[in-house]
Amino acid sequence: MTHPIGRRAALALPSLVVAGNAAAQGTDRPLRIVIPFPPGGSSDILARILQPELQRGLNQVVVVDNRGGAAGNLGADHVAKAAPDGTTVLLTDTGILTTGPSLFARLPYNPATDLAPVTMLTFAPYIMAVHPSLAARDGRELAALVRAEPGRINFAHSGVGALNHLTALLVAQHWGGSVTEVFYRGGMIGIQAAVTNESQLIVNGATAVLPFVKDGRLRAIAVTGPRRLADLPDVPTFAELGWPAADAGIGQGVLAPARTPAATIERLFTAFRDTLAEPVLRTRMAGLGAEIVTDGPDAFRTRLAAETEAWGGIVRARGIRLD
């Protein structure tokens, strides 16, 4: 199976967003939230929504630092090697942590031992969507098209072995057909490729995809998760259609460097939990199709271990391996 590079994909330069005046804050050492992807994707959107309220809650400057590359591993490794002093954290789609150990022959860091879970933040289901010009208005028609014309449809994804990539492969296999995989260096770049019809199929988090469905630039086919999205009441779930990977989706979480003191982990957890408890943010997350899941360090560690085992088994079973 080949994984061609998207023709219009481009690496986004790392960007910094700094809000507020350091002199007015409780400390002159900012909290740096590293996003291991280019701007515009689900993790980046969440971080920029949280940043103003988090800054007020911590009484500290908060910086959003995009460090995309190597399927998210560049930014994750940067945080793993940062000083464990509570000034640098990773906010990421947890899929890079749960598939990486099985997917990559060599990782520069160990997700289980080099990063300390702070808390899960949100879970957003995937939306499977197509370009409106595609002659498939629902899941049955899309499956029939994939079976009838194997390889005709370009499937945009942001990394080999990422959960959205695996989800689409499992579904296409269930249909009895195949799609042509096109790799883009970032989730939003892949979504834009589907919007422009460079690729015709996308599976990505509701947080990032929903706005494009709402304005008609993409057509939603199905969603993962236990229920239909409130904003897409006519779009069925994978489970309703009998498709695999029905529970897949984007879990967003925060991790710190290993050996960060427990008291510092607790302070960070409290700040993120309290920020997401703000009514305005709860409403905004719901509007983006995301469920708030601020269950703390221990529950997050348990979740990561279980998902690493489950998705790692799928990666190994399919023989997907990267150098």
Q: Which of 101-110, 113-122, 204-213, 242-251 has the highest mean pLDDT?
A: 113-122
Q: Which residue has the tokens 């009998």?
A: 242
- Every domain range in the chain assigned CATH 3.40.190.10: 125-241
pTM (2 d.p.): 0.82
Contact 319, 161 (CB under 8 A): no
| Residue 235: band (very low, low, confident or very high) from pLDDT cuts 50, 70, 90 | very high
In CATH, which of 3.40.190.150, 3.40.50.300, 3.30.565.10, 3.40.50.200 is domain 16-123+250-318? 3.40.190.150
Q: Is the pLDDT of residue 36 over 90?
A: yes
What does the pLDDT look like over 262-297, one tens digit per residue?
A: 999 999 999 999 999 999 999 999 888 899 999 999
CA distance linking residue 320 with residue 83, whole number of Å: 33
Question: Around Cβ 307, how many Cβ atoms within 10 Å?
Answer: 17
Sequence letter at residue 41: G
Tokens of 192: 């834009």
Assign domain 125-241 to its CATH superfamily: Periplasmic binding protein-like II (3.40.190.10)
What does the pLDDT look like over 171-194, one tens digit per residue?
A: 999 999 999 999 887 788 999 999
